[in-house]
Amino acid sequence: MKRLGVEPSGTGFLDWTIDGVALRSMVPAEQRTPLFLDDDRWRESAVETLRRLLGRLPGDFDDGRVALLMCPLCGDLGCGAYSVEVAFGDDVVEWRAFGWQTDYEPFDDPEEYRFTGARFERTAYETLLGDLLSNYRA
């Protein structure tokens, strides 16, 4: 199992980490999470993303995928986003089929944006995202 985490990026937002390595360093993406540290304009987007990753809201895209990294200027999915399919098992949450996606075309899985995926222990995953959700709602 992998360990999901977050860490400050040094530029005002939190990066997703997998086993301590920032997701943005694993994929060729300039986008960022909506988990900004001091910018209230992103609070609603952060709450929605966390709820989607917890399975409490449908995905960002018609195919159910969730945006992990998005345009840091506007958050518009038309600018493109690094997205993932989230699958829930009894004890596991899996992020799979990572890829680049826009909201105006069907998902295409170009080789250059592929990342193999990650399986997380469900309790730890839900605890981390639930704590983040509480912080962004406050």
CA angle 24, 112, 116 (to 5 degrees): 65
SS3 per residue for 12-68:
CEEEEEECCEEHHHHCCCCCECCCECCCHHHHHHHHHHHHHHCCCCCCCCCCCCEEE
Cα angle at 121 between 65 and 103, to 5 degrees? 10
Whose CA is closest to 62, among 107, 32, 31? 107
80: left (phi over 0), alpha (psi -120 to 50) or beta: left
pLDDT averages per 10-residue partition of the chain, 138 residues: 93 92 81 87 92 97 93 87 94 92 79 75 98 91
**Domains defined along the chain, listed by start:** 4-137 (3.30.2450)
pLDDT value of position 110? 62
pLDDT score at 85 = 94
Does the pTM surpass 0.75? The reply is: yes
78 and 60 Cβ atoms separated by less than 8 Å: no
Query: What is the per-residue pLDDT for 89?
Result: 97
Starting at the edge strand found earlier in the chain, the sheet holding 21-22 runs 4-8, 14-18, 21-22
